[in-house]
Chain A
Amino acid sequence: MSTADDLDRTESENAAGKVAETASSGSGNKKQDGSSASITLFFIVGFVASLVVGWVVFPKLLYSQKEQPVVFNHEKHNELVDAGCESCHFFREDGSYSGVPKLAQCIDCHEEVQGDSEAEEYFVTEFVQKGREVPWLVYSRQPPCVFFSHAAHVKKAGMDCVSCHGHIGESEELRPYEYNRISRYSRDIWGHNISGIKRNSWDRMKMDDCSECHVEENVNQGSVQTHKGGCFVCHH
C-alpha cells in the first residue's frame, strides 16, 4: 500500500528523469522546432483539406444533375417567332403568366415530325402523339411559398427577361438541370457560384437579390395591402 510519501517520491523521480533526458540529448531547441513545424504542417493540411472539401467537394456532393426530358434549341425557335420570348412564354388574358409552354403550343408546329433529328422524332412520338405533357425542369422555379408576379415586373416595371433569366433565349441547347439535394431547389436560385457571389443580375435569385433591387429602385418594400413589413410582398 503506497503512502503519500511514496507518491511524492515517484513524481520527483519522474521529473528528474525527464530533465536528465532533455539534458542528455543536448538538442532541446531543435526538437521543439520540429514539433512546431509538424504542428504548423498539420494545421495547414487541415486548413487546405477543409478548404478543398468546402469549395470543391461539397458543391459536387450538394448538387445533383438531371438532363432535360427533351432537347430544345432556344436560338432556333427565337429566329422563327415574331414576338420574341412572349411568343411562347406569354401572358394569359387574365394577366397571369403562362411560364413554360404546354404541349398544346408545341403541337401547333410539331404535330408531325419536322426534319430528321432523332430528338425531334422522340419528342413527337413520346409526347405529342401520346398527348403527354413534357415534364420540363424549370431552372428558375421559385418555391411554393413565394408569390412572384411576372406582370408586375414585365408589364408594369418594364423589365426585360434577361435581367432575371440571363441569355437563355440565345442558347442552342439546354444545360443540365442542377438541384440541391437537401432543399430540392434549382441551383439557379442560390446561383452557380457556391460562395454566392454574382457578377450579373441573373446569377442568383435568392430573397436578398429580390430585395436588393426593390431597395435600389425604391419599390414595394411593404405589403401592397397593409403597407406594413416587407415579408408579405412576396411570401404568402
Chain B
Amino acid sequence: MKIDRRSFLSFLIGGAAGTALSPLPWKLTDDISIWTQMWPWVPIPEKGEVSTVNSACTLCPGGCGISVRKVDDRVVKIEGLAGHPINNGGLCTLGLAGAQLLYGPQRVKAPMKNVGGRLVEISWEEALGEISARLKELRERGQPHRVACIAGTDRGTVPELLNRFLTVYGSPQFFRVPSIQDTYELALYLMQGVRASAGFDFENADYVLSFGSGLLDGWGTPVNIFQAHSRWCERSGKLVQIEPRQSRTAAKADSWIPINPGTEGVLALSLAGVIVKESLYNADFVNAQSSGFDSWQQVLLENYDTESAAKITGVDPSTIAKLARDFAGARKPLAVCGRGKGQSPGSLKEVMAVHALNALVGGIDRQGGVRAVPEPDYIDWPEPEMDAVAAAGMQQERVDQAGGSQYPHARYLLNRLPEAVNSSADSPLQVLFVSDANPCYSLPNSKAFSDAFKKIPMVVSFSSYLGETAELADFILPSPIYLEQYEDRPIAAGYPLPIVNLTRPVVKPLFNTRSVGDVVIELARSLGGTVAAAFPWEDYQTCLKETLGDKWIVLNEKGYWAGDKLGSGGQPATFETKSSRFEFTNAEIDAMARFAPVEPEGDIAAFPLVLVPYDTMRLWNGYIGDPPFVIKIVPDTVLKNNDVLIEINPATASELGLQDGQAANLTTPRGTARVRVHLFEGIMPGVVALPAGLGHTAHSKFLAGKGANVNALIGSVEDAATGYEAVWGIRAKLDKA
C-alpha cells in the first residue's frame, strides 16, 4: 500500500468528517466565545452577605452621616445617611468615592522610617522606642517646649489627647490647621464676648449675601448647603455672590457681582454705610442690644461712601446702594464670608465688617441668621498634674508668637511656623507631630513648609495616606482611617447646631495601623511620671467611651448627637461682652490695626496680572487628595492631560497675545508653573485663576503629576490685626511657553 497524495487527502477528509461529527468544534466555539467575556480585568462583583453600617464621613469638615453598604467584609458603596441633620441622605462625590481611600494604593500600610530619603518599614516598638527616647532626652535637657503638634482640628478626643500630651509634657506648641473659623471665632469673641464657632442658618435664610464664599463649591457643610440652596430655589430665596470670578456658586446664584479681588471688606463696609445712612437697619436690635454703634457708624460714613467704595471695589455705586437696600429689606438676610471652601482665615476686620452687616439687620442668634454655636463640652477630663519641667515649658513663648504681645488674640498661627523655623540656625522645634494635616501641600507658601519640615530633626506623621507631608516625615505612624475605627468628630464648619458625629469601624483595619489616640497613650506611658499619670486609660477606645459617657449610647445608636434647634426667635441672644450687648466696636477692637484691604504680594510693573486660587467640589485640596473617581470628573477646562488650565479673560489674553489652549508659563514672585490658557468670560480682566487641589507630588499615580500646586505659587500674607493667614492671591505674569 502506497501512501500518496490521494490517501493523505482522504485521511484529511475523513478527519474533517469525524471532527464535524464530534463535539469538538461546537464546544470549542462555545468556550472561546465565553473566554472573551472572562478577561481578567473585568471587575467581578463580590458575592456574600449584604449589610449596612451607619457611620460618619470625615473627609472634609462638613460632617455628613454615611451609610456604608458591605458585601461580607468588603465596602462596596458609601451613601448619605437618611435622617442625618446635616446631609439627610445626600453625599458629595468625595464622600461617595471614600471606598477608594480605603482600598487605594496611597495607603501607608505599616509604620515607616525615613532612612536617607527612603521610607523603610519598621516595627511599632522600634518606631515608638526611638520617638520616646528623643522625647525623654528633650525633657531631660529642659527643652520640652521644642516639641510641637499640628492637628486638623482642636476639637474631639484625638486632638484633645494630643494637646493634653503636649501640655503635661511641657509644650505650648499645639497648632490647628487654619480656616475661616479662626477669624469667625475671634470676631464672635470680640463682638459678642463668647468663645464659640459661627453657625449659619442657611436653611431658613431668604437672602444670602456671600462675600466670595464658595457655598456651592465646598464651603462649610457642603451637602447641607446644597440642600439649603435647593430650598431657596423652591421658596424664591435669593443668593447673591460677590467675587471676581464666576465660580459654580456665582453661576448658580441669583446675581453675581464681580468685584476687584481682595476688596470684599470695603464693599461690606460701604453696604453698612448705606444701611446706616438710610436708616434701614433693625432699630430694635441696634438700639436695645448693641453698643459702639455711634463711633462705628461715624467711621463708616466718613470713609465708606458708595462713590469711594466703587473706586476701590469696581462695583457701581448704584449696585452698592441696591444691594444694601435689598439686604436690609429682606425678611431673613444673612451675610457670610470666607473665600472658596473657607480654608483661609482672611482678614479679621473683613469678617467683622460682614458680621456687623448681620447685626445691623438683627440677624444674630435668630432663625435664618448667624448663631454662636458653643464649643462642645463633653470632654471633661480632670486637670492634669504638671511637674516642674512641664510647668516651665508651658511658660515658654510659642514659636508662632500666637497669644504674645504682637498678636494677643490669635490662638494658632501655623502660617508663621515656617518663618520661625527657617530663619534660625538651629530649629526651635526638635520634634513635630502632624495629624490629619498636609501643610507641605495645602497651605500657602507650601515650599516654606517643606523647607521647615526638612529642617526640623524629627517629624512624625500620623497620616494614613502617603501625602506630601508624610513623605517628608522621619516617621510615619499610620492610623486607621474613618472607615476602620471609632472616633468622635464634633462639627464646627459653619453649621448652626452643636453636633458630634461618631465614626464606626465599618471594616477591621486593613493594615498594620494604630489609632493616634493609642499612640499618644502609649508614648505618654513610656515617658512615665506625671505624663503617664495624665493618661489613665487603658487604650483610646476606653478613653472615648468614658469621655462620651451617656452620649456614647446615643452616638453608637444614631451615629450623631445634635444640640437644640435654633428657636424661632423666642430666645434672645446672649452677649457676654463688657456692655452685655453686641459691640460694633470697642476699645479692644479699636486698638487693633484698622481695616485695610490686604494687598497682593509682588511688583505691579513686573507682575501685571493678579492670580487668585479657586476651589471646586471636584478638587479637594486639604489633607485629603482626590481619589481616582473624583479626579476623573474634573473637566478638561480645568485639567487637560497633565496640564492645568489657567482662566483668563479673552480681552486680557488678546493683550498678551495668548490663544485658547496655548501653553504658557505663569510666574509669580514665589515660583513658576507651566499652564495652558483657558479663555473664560467669567473672570475679570487682569485677573487669572488656578484651581487649588492639583499639582500633587505624592499620594498615588492617579493624582500625582497633574497640573500645578497653586500654594507653591502663593506666598503668605499676615493679617495686620491678628497675624492670621490673609492671602487671597498674588501678582503674576503670563508668558507664551
Residues of A within 8 A of B (CB): 34-35, 38-51, 53-55, 58-59, 62, 92, 94, 96, 98-99, 143-145, 180, 182-185, 190, 194-196
Q: Which A residues are CB-close (under 8 A) to B3?
A: 38, 42
Say yes or no: is B529 at the interface (Cβ < 8 Å to chain A): no
10 cross-chain CB contacts under 8 A: A34-B1, A39-B6, A42-B8, A43-B10, A44-B14, A180-B31, A182-B28, A183-B34, A183-B38, A196-B23
Q: Which A residues are CB-close (under 8 A) to B15?
A: 46-47, 49-50
In Å, the complex CA distance between A66 and B169 comes to 62
In Å, the complex CA distance between A44 and B22 comes to 15
Known: A46-B12, A55-B22. 12 other contacts (CB 8 A): A39-B7, A45-B11, A46-B14, A51-B21, A53-B24, A54-B21, A55-B23, A92-B50, A96-B50, A144-B45, A180-B31, A190-B27
Say yes or no: is B41 at the interface (Cβ < 8 Å to chain A): no
Say yes or no: is B565 at the interface (Cβ < 8 Å to chain A): no
Known A-B contacts A96-B50, A183-B34, A183-B35; the reply to A53 vs B13 at CB < 8 A is no
**Nearest CB in chain A to that of B42: its residue:** A144
In Å, the complex CA distance between A126 and B45 comes to 28
Contact of A43 among B14, B23, B34, B44 (CB under 8 A): B14
Contact at B22–A54, with CB atoms within 8 Å? yes
Contact at A45–B14, with CB atoms within 8 Å? yes
Q: Which B residues are CB-close (under 8 A) to A50?
A: 14-19, 22
**Nearest CB in chain A to that of B15: its residue:** A46
Contact at B22–A35, with CB atoms within 8 Å? no
Q: Which B residues are CB-close (under 8 A) to A47?
A: 14-15, 17-18
Say yes or no: is B2 at the interface (Cβ < 8 Å to chain A): yes
Known A-B contacts A62-B27, A144-B45; the reply to A51 vs B38 at CB < 8 A is no
Q: Which B residues are CB-close (under 8 A) to A39?
A: 6-7, 10
Across chains A and B, the number of contacting residue pairs, with CB separation under 8 Å, is: 108
In Å, the complex CA distance between A45 and B44 comes to 46
In Å, the complex CA distance between A145 and B7 comes to 48
What distance in Å separates the Cβ of B39 from its nearest Cβ neighbour in chain A? 11
Q: Looking at chain A's contact residues, is the secondary structure mostly helix, strand, loop, or mixed?
A: helix
What distance in Å separates the Cβ of B580 from its nearest Cβ neighbour in chain A? 58
Q: Mark B40-65, 1 if CB is under 8 A from A, else 0.
A: 00101101011000000000000000
Contact at B11–A46, with CB atoms within 8 Å? yes
Say yes or no: is B591 at the interface (Cβ < 8 Å to chain A): no
Contact of A145 among B10, B37, B47 (CB under 8 A): B37
Q: Which A residues are CB-close (under 8 A) to B11?
A: 42-43, 45-46
Contact of B34 among A44, A62, A143, A195 (CB under 8 A): A143
Indicate the member of A45, A49, A50, A195 with the most B CB atoms within 10 Å: A50
What distance in Å separates the Cβ of A61 from its nearest Cβ neighbour in chain B? 10
Contact at B23–A195, with CB atoms within 8 Å? yes
Q: Which A residues are CB-close (under 8 A) to B14?
A: 42-50
In Å, the complex CA distance between A143 and B31 comes to 13
Say yes or no: is B115 at the interface (Cβ < 8 Å to chain A): no
Contact at B7–A143, with CB atoms within 8 Å? no
In Å, the complex CA distance between A49 and B21 comes to 12
Contact of A62 among B12, B19, B31 (CB under 8 A): B31
Contact at A99–B47, with CB atoms within 8 Å? yes
In Å, the complex CA distance between A54 and B27 comes to 10
In Å, the complex CA distance between A62 and B24 comes to 10
Known A-B contacts A42-B7, A182-B31; the reply to A54 vs B23 at CB < 8 A is yes
What distance in Å separates the Cβ of B316 from its nearest Cβ neighbour in chain A? 56
Q: Which B residues are CB-close (under 8 A) to A46?
A: 10-18
Known A-B contacts A39-B6, A44-B14, A182-B31; the reply to A144 vs B23 at CB < 8 A is no
Q: Which B residues are CB-close (under 8 A) to A183?
A: 31, 34-35, 38
Say yes or no: is B32 at the interface (Cβ < 8 Å to chain A): yes
B232-259 residues at the A interface, CB under 8 angstroms: none
**Nearest CB in chain A to that of B18: its residue:** A50
Known A-B contacts A46-B15, A51-B18, A180-B31; the reply to A38 vs B2 at CB < 8 A is yes
In Å, the complex CA distance between A3 and B18 comes to 50
What distance in Å separates the Cβ of B6 from its nearest Cβ neighbour in chain A? 6
In Å, the complex CA distance between A124 and B4 comes to 66
What distance in Å separates the Cβ of A102 from its nearest Cβ neighbour in chain B? 8
In Å, the complex CA distance between A218 and B37 comes to 29
Q: Which B residues are CB-close (under 8 A) to A34?
A: 1
Q: Which B residues are CB-close (under 8 A) to A96?
A: 49-50
**Nearest CB in chain B to that of A138: its residue:** B47
Q: Which B residues are CB-close (under 8 A) to A54?
A: 18-19, 21-24
Q: Which A residues are CB-close (under 8 A) to B27?
A: 58, 62, 190, 194, 196
In Å, the complex CA distance between A114 and B12 comes to 61
Q: Which B residues are CB-close (under 8 A) to A143?
A: 34, 37-38
When A and B form their complex, which 6 residue pairs have the shortest distance between CB atoms, in order from nearest? A54-B22, A46-B14, A50-B18, A43-B14, A46-B15, A47-B14
Q: Which A residues are CB-close (under 8 A) to B23?
A: 54-55, 58-59, 194-196
In Å, the complex CA distance between A45 and B17 comes to 11
What distance in Å separates the Cβ of B467 from its nearest Cβ neighbour in chain A? 33
In Å, the complex CA distance between A94 and B70 comes to 14
Q: Which B residues are CB-close (under 8 A) to A40?
A: 10
Q: Which A residues are CB-close (under 8 A) to B10?
A: 38-40, 42-43, 46
**Nearest CB in chain B to that of A144: its residue:** B44
In Å, the complex CA distance between A58 and B42 comes to 28
What distance in Å separates the Cβ of A104 from its nearest Cβ neighbour in chain B? 10
In Å, the complex CA distance between A43 and B2 comes to 14
Q: Which A residues are CB-close (under 8 A) to B31?
A: 62, 180, 182-183
Indicate the member of B3, B12, B13, B23 with the most A CB atoms within 10 Å: B23
What distance in Å separates the Cβ of B2 from its nearest Cβ neighbour in chain A? 7
**Nearest CB in chain A to that of B33: its residue:** A183
Contact at B22–A58, with CB atoms within 8 Å? yes
Q: Which B residues are CB-close (under 8 A) to A94?
A: 50
In Å, the complex CA distance between A80 and B12 comes to 59
Indicate the member of A59, A182, A184, A194 with the most B CB atoms within 10 Å: A182
In Å, the complex CA distance between A184 and B27 comes to 14
Indicate the member of B10, B16, B50 with the most A CB atoms within 10 Å: B10
In Å, the complex CA distance between A25 and B8 comes to 26
Contact at B49–A182, with CB atoms within 8 Å? no
What distance in Å separates the Cβ of A106 from its nearest Cβ neighbour in chain B? 16
Q: Which A residues are CB-close (under 8 A) to B8?
A: 42
In Å, the complex CA distance between A145 and B43 comes to 11
Q: Which B residues are CB-close (under 8 A) to A35?
A: 6
Q: Which A residues are CB-close (under 8 A) to B28?
A: 182
**Nearest CB in chain B to that of A58: its residue:** B24
What distance in Å separates the Cβ of A26 from its nearest Cβ neighbour in chain B? 19
Contact at A184–B38, with CB atoms within 8 Å? yes
In Å, the complex CA distance between A50 and B37 comes to 29
In Å, the complex CA distance between A92 and B193 comes to 58
What distance in Å separates the Cβ of A92 from its nearest Cβ neighbour in chain B? 6
In Å, the complex CA distance between A143 and B27 comes to 17
Q: Which B residues are CB-close (under 8 A) to A48?
A: 14, 18
What distance in Å separates the Cβ of A97 from its nearest Cβ neighbour in chain B? 10
Contact at A182–B22, with CB atoms within 8 Å? no
In Å, the complex CA distance between A44 and B12 comes to 10
In Å, the complex CA distance between A55 and B26 comes to 12
In Å, the complex CA distance between A47 and B42 comes to 41
**Nearest CB in chain B to that of A184: its residue:** B38
In Å, the complex CA distance between A195 and B27 comes to 8
What distance in Å separates the Cβ of A147 from its nearest Cβ neighbour in chain B? 10
Known A-B contacts A43-B14, A54-B18; the reply to A92 vs B35 at CB < 8 A is no
In Å, the complex CA distance between A53 and B24 comes to 8
In Å, the complex CA distance between A182 and B3 comes to 37
